[in-house]
Amino acid sequence: MSAASPGAGGPGPLALVGGGEWTPGASFDAELVRAGGPEVLILPTAAAYQRPERAVARAEEYFAGLGARARGLMVLSRRDAQDPEAASAVARSRFVYLSGGSALHLRSVLKGSAVWSALLEAWESGAVVAASSAGAMVLTDPMVDPRGGAFTLGLGLVEQLAVIPHYGAPGDEKVHRRTLALAAPGLPVACIPERSALIRWPGGTWVSAGESEVQVFVDGAPASLEALPGWGRPLSSG
């Protein structure tokens, strides 16, 4: 079974967020809370060197406004990601949210770890998984390399999909154009603005949600959401 294959009950909702997480405008979060329940587990791994406790505090305040309770799980290093108690907390969670920050650090911490296996287990058993900015980039394979916009290996929760977060942000246009030009033939690239999300609901329907519209490109040309992997069917490695 591939990393993105469904378990017995099928995978839960997946939200790939373009950045600006836990701020007004991210209207889709209320729906994710309804799907996953009022307990949200925050993994600030990508923000390990950017005051991760502040990210957790922001999430706690934000989700309290939605009638939910967020709590942080400080998986900040490789050692943390191999901790059995941390992995158990992730496996039990019904809503796991990965913050933005450093995509390369997040990948190095989670790849092949106990916490990553637990996240897959939770998602495949129906839990909500949301990931913003660096988190959204890392969950796909291939992954956009933040060092210049080319492609590298991601963790592959969803295969044959790449994500450009912060799409439309001033100053990033040149890098985003380079990424689209370097994409392999037939590879869908989802360009996700801040406070917006590309969400896959159980059953295979992908939707654009939030403040701005998600754009998908294949071979450099605009494409519909139906070009995304697993449209209307279970995700698989093909």
Give the residue ranges of the chain where pLDDT is below 50.
1-8, 237-238
Report the pLDDT value the prediction gives residue 3, as an integer from 0 to 100: 40
Report the pLDDT value the prediction gives residue 2, as an integer from 0 to 100: 35
Tens digits of residue pLDDT in 122-144 = 999 999 999 999 999 999 999 99
Report the pLDDT value the prediction gives residue 118, as an integer from 0 to 100: 98
Q: Does residue 147 lie in a domain region?
A: no
Report the pLDDT value the prediction gives residue 203, as an integer from 0 to 100: 86
Average pLDDT value over all residues in the chain: 93
- Distance in angstroms (rounded) separating the CA atoms of residues 85 and 147: 33
Q: Does residue 231 lie in a domain region?
A: no
Q: Does residue 82 lie in a domain region?
A: yes
Q: Does residue 30 lie in a domain region?
A: yes
Q: Does residue 47 lie in a domain region?
A: yes
Report the pLDDT value the prediction gives residue 234, as an integer from 0 to 100: 67
- Distance in angstroms (rounded) separating the CA atoms of residues 23 and 1: 36
Question: For the chain, how many structural domains are there in total?
Answer: 1
What is the extent of the structural domain holding 80?
A: 14-140+193-212
Q: What is the CATH number of the domain that holds 72?
A: 3.40.50.880
Concatenated DSSP letters of 77-90: SHHHHT-HHHHHHH
Q: Does residue 8 lie in a domain region?
A: no
Report the pLDDT value the prediction gives residue 236, as an integer from 0 to 100: 54
Q: Does residue 161 lie in a domain region?
A: no
Report the pLDDT value the prediction gives residue 9, as an integer from 0 to 100: 64
Report the pLDDT value the prediction gives residue 40, as an integer from 0 to 100: 98
